[in-house]
A and B are shown apart, each in its own frame.
Chain A
Amino acid sequence: MTSTRNVALTVGLLCVSLAGWEGVVRLLAVPAYIVPPPSRVTVALWRGFASGLYPRHLLYTLTETVLGFLLGAALGFSLGVAVASSRYIEYFVYPYIVMFQSLPKVALAPLIVIWFGLGLASKVVNAALVAFFPLMVNTMVGLRSADEDRVSLMRALAASESQIFWMLRLPGALPFVMAGLDVAVILALIGAIVGEFVGAQHGLGMLIQSMNFTMDVSGQFSVLLILSVLGLALNKGIAILRRRVLFWDPSVKSRSDAP
């Protein structure tokens, strides 16, 4: 299948569904404060961007998400390395980490806002806490799954444990780490939005809440659209990184975009 045909099909499908949505809403006379038609969502989107309101809040949420993701990734990766390299840490610390993970992190958000304030810091911490776990588990599993023959080879060469780590275990764990980052970046966005819901002065999450109070449903739809595009873009960013880092991994080598 050619890629131009794929693009045409994708755009065509989108147009048909939007037209269907618009038609159903108008035909059944659904009030705009329940489900707005796409035309009104588009207008809201346009006004939001033209007035500079959306870009400002988008930038704020993006900053929270990226900082939270970086913090969570660093935390998850370090914990993963620590747990994978020491049976003691695994035995004594890991159960607490799992206990913490089984707690719904959303329930922690009010506390974190009390501790870190209404500004950027509380959202970054919240995003990091939600995002770190999958990366930790993946790093742990990745480091442990080093091929036995390769470890034997390194040992036969009289390699030190740190050489085995840097030259074998770490690069070998990268497919797992990248899969963890893939999940973590979206979780960071969720963490940031939840933080904004609880208490914030800026950000797309705060915007959704204030629009909810004024029954501006078209506005909410337009922000939701921005959020999904933001999530997609973050995911794409990780995918690009993944393809650069894992050029040697079967998951990247055998990948083809067209169905």
Chain B
Amino acid sequence: MPATAISVAGVAMRYAARGASVAALADMNFDVAEREFVAVVGPSGCGKSTLLKILAGLLPPTRGEARLRGTPIAGPRRDIGVVFQAPVLFPWRTVLDNVLLPVDVQGLPRDRHQRTALDLLALVGLEGFERRYPWELSGGMQQRVSIIRALIHDPAMLLMDEPFGALDAMTRELMNLELQRIWLERQKTVLFITHSIPEAVFLADRVLVMTTRPGAIMDDVAVRLPRPRALDAMSTSEFGGCVARIRARFNAQGGVDA
């Protein structure tokens, strides 16, 4: 049994909105093992992004505790990489300087990490683009830059908040393959938030299924498909079984948009 990377125990979140208190998360409990790829699926507004913000240390939970490698997450940490839905690149920085942003912020040696950055750019097929600016790149290329930016400082965990949600379907499938490749090569713990059931099943070792707001986990589905998975893994019975099981869970709850 590998060590636990993330442990979430009794985490609940309430927001104060116009005088009333709104529950976003109700009692979340789960563990993520080291090097595990866990996807979280849920309907829109179920508090997925709130969960990610708590794990990134951007938001303290109202109740409960989240731990990373045994220590409580009390604020932003330097051993976490975050990828948002939008690439969130800085237009005045070159591609290389965007990738090196965490290095600059954390005061790490630039020369050593520059080599890592160039290796990572090559890993995602962006060699030769290091001196370009983000606005010269396509949406898929920009998101790849944002993924390797999250990896540059070698974080213990990668948090991804619907990173491919803004991409077209074709690019999205390619990016799923790409992400799997990066993950197999880099062996990171990944928590991947999405509202696409097929995407979750294709990428993850385990899929956590969330209820509608206030969010809680209603199912934990293990995906037993061998790695590396090709796109035709989507036509296997294991894949179909997982997708059907998750969809049935949502339908029992009153439907889902994915």
Give a binary string over B53-94; 1 marks a CB under 8 Å from any A CB, 0 the rest: 100111000000000000000011110101010101011100
Partner of B75, one of A149, A158, A174, A249: A158
With a cutoff of 8 Å between Cβ atoms, the chain A residues found around residue B133 in the complex are 248
A253 close to chain B: CB less than 8 A: yes
Instruction: Please determine whether B105 and A167 come into contact, CB atoms closer than 8 angstroms.
Output: yes
Interface residues of A in 214-259 (CB under 8 A from B): 248-249, 253
Instruction: Please determine whether A157 and B92 come into contact, CB atoms closer than 8 angstroms.
Output: no
Given contacts A156-B80, A167-B105, contact A249 B91 (CB under 8 A): yes
With a cutoff of 8 Å between Cβ atoms, the chain A residues found around residue B86 in the complex are 149
Partner of A158, one of B53, B77, B91, B135: B77
Instruction: State how many angstroms separate the Cβ of A178 from the closest Cβ of chain B.
Output: 13
Instruction: Please determine whether B101 and A157 come into contact, CB atoms closer than 8 angstroms.
Output: yes
Instruction: State how many angstroms separate the Cβ of B150 from the closest Cβ of chain A.
Output: 9
With a cutoff of 8 Å between Cβ atoms, the chain A residues found around residue B80 in the complex are 156
Q: A155 vs B77: C-alpha distance in the bound complex, in angstroms?
A: 9
Instruction: State how many angstroms separate the Cβ of B79 from the closest Cβ of chain A.
Output: 10
Interface residues of B (CB under 8 A from A): 53, 56-58, 75-78, 80, 82, 84, 86, 88, 90-92, 101-102, 104-106, 133, 135
Interface of B is mostly: loop
Instruction: Please determine whether B105 and A157 come into contact, CB atoms closer than 8 angstroms.
Output: yes
Q: A156 vs B54: C-alpha distance in the bound complex, in angstroms?
A: 10
Interface residues of A in 166-197 (CB under 8 A from B): 167-168, 171, 174
Q: In the complex, which residue of chain A has the Cβ closest to the Cβ of B57?
A: A156
Interchain residue pairs A-B with the least CB separation, the first 3? A158-B76, A248-B91, A156-B82
Given contacts A167-B104, A249-B91, contact A156 B135 (CB under 8 A): no
Q: A174 vs B91: C-alpha distance in the bound complex, in angstroms?
A: 12
Q: In the complex, which residue of chain A has the Cβ closest to the Cβ of B55?
A: A156
Instruction: Please determine whether B58 and A152 come into contact, CB atoms closer than 8 angstroms.
Output: yes
Instruction: State how many angstroms separate the Cβ of A164 from the closest Cβ of chain B.
Output: 9
A163 close to chain B: CB less than 8 A: yes
Partner of B84, one of A149, A167, A249: A149
Instruction: Please determine whether A153 and B82 come into contact, CB atoms closer than 8 angstroms.
Output: yes
With a cutoff of 8 Å between Cβ atoms, the chain B residues found around residue A159 in the complex are 76, 105
Instruction: State how many angstroms separate the Cβ of B89 from the closest Cβ of chain A.
Output: 9
Q: A228 vs B95: C-alpha distance in the bound complex, in angstroms?
A: 43
Q: A152 vs B83: C-alpha distance in the bound complex, in angstroms?
A: 11
Q: A163 vs B77: C-alpha distance in the bound complex, in angstroms?
A: 15
Q: A150 vs B86: C-alpha distance in the bound complex, in angstroms?
A: 10
Instruction: State how many angstroms separate the Cβ of B10 from the closest Cβ of chain A.
Output: 23
Q: In the complex, which residue of chain B has the Cβ closest to the Cβ of A148?
A: B88
Instruction: State how many angstroms separate the Cβ of A153 from the closest Cβ of chain B.
Output: 5
Q: A181 vs B100: C-alpha distance in the bound complex, in angstroms?
A: 31
Q: In the complex, which residue of chain B has the Cβ closest to the Cβ of A164?
A: B105
Q: In the complex, which residue of chain A has the Cβ closest to the Cβ of B149?
A: A153
Instruction: Please determine whether A150 and B90 come into contact, CB atoms closer than 8 angstroms.
Output: yes
Which residue among B58, B76, B105 has the maximum number of chain A CB atoms within 10 Å of its CB?
Answer: B105
With a cutoff of 8 Å between Cβ atoms, the chain B residues found around residue A147 in the complex are 88
Sample 18 A-B pairs with CB under 8 A, ordered by A number.
A149-B88, A150-B88, A152-B58, A156-B56, A156-B58, A156-B76, A156-B80, A158-B57, A158-B106, A159-B76, A163-B105, A167-B90, A167-B105, A168-B90, A171-B92, A174-B92, A248-B92, A248-B133
A141 close to chain B: CB less than 8 A: no
With a cutoff of 8 Å between Cβ atoms, the chain B residues found around residue A167 in the complex are 90, 101, 104-105
Q: A241 vs B168: C-alpha distance in the bound complex, in angstroms?
A: 38
Instruction: Please determine whether B91 and A153 come into contact, CB atoms closer than 8 angstroms.
Output: no
Partner of A157, one of B76, B84, B91: B76
A66 close to chain B: CB less than 8 A: no
Q: A159 vs B58: C-alpha distance in the bound complex, in angstroms?
A: 12
Instruction: Please determine whether B90 and A157 come into contact, CB atoms closer than 8 angstroms.
Output: no
Q: A168 vs B106: C-alpha distance in the bound complex, in angstroms?
A: 15
Q: A157 vs B90: C-alpha distance in the bound complex, in angstroms?
A: 14
A118 close to chain B: CB less than 8 A: no
Instruction: Please determine whether B135 and A253 come into contact, CB atoms closer than 8 angstroms.
Output: yes
With a cutoff of 8 Å between Cβ atoms, the chain B residues found around residue A149 in the complex are 84, 86, 88
Given contacts A152-B58, A248-B133, A248-B135, contact A157 B106 (CB under 8 A): yes
Q: A149 vs B80: C-alpha distance in the bound complex, in angstroms?
A: 16
Give a binary string over A126-156; 1 marks a CB under 8 Å from any B CB, 0 the rest: 0000000000000000000001011011111
Given contacts A155-B76, A158-B76, 14 further A-B contacts (CB under 8 A): A149-B86, A150-B90, A152-B53, A152-B84, A156-B58, A157-B76, A157-B78, A157-B106, A167-B90, A171-B90, A171-B92, A174-B92, A248-B133, A248-B135
Instruction: State how many angstroms separate the Cβ of A229 from the closest Cβ of chain B.
Output: 33
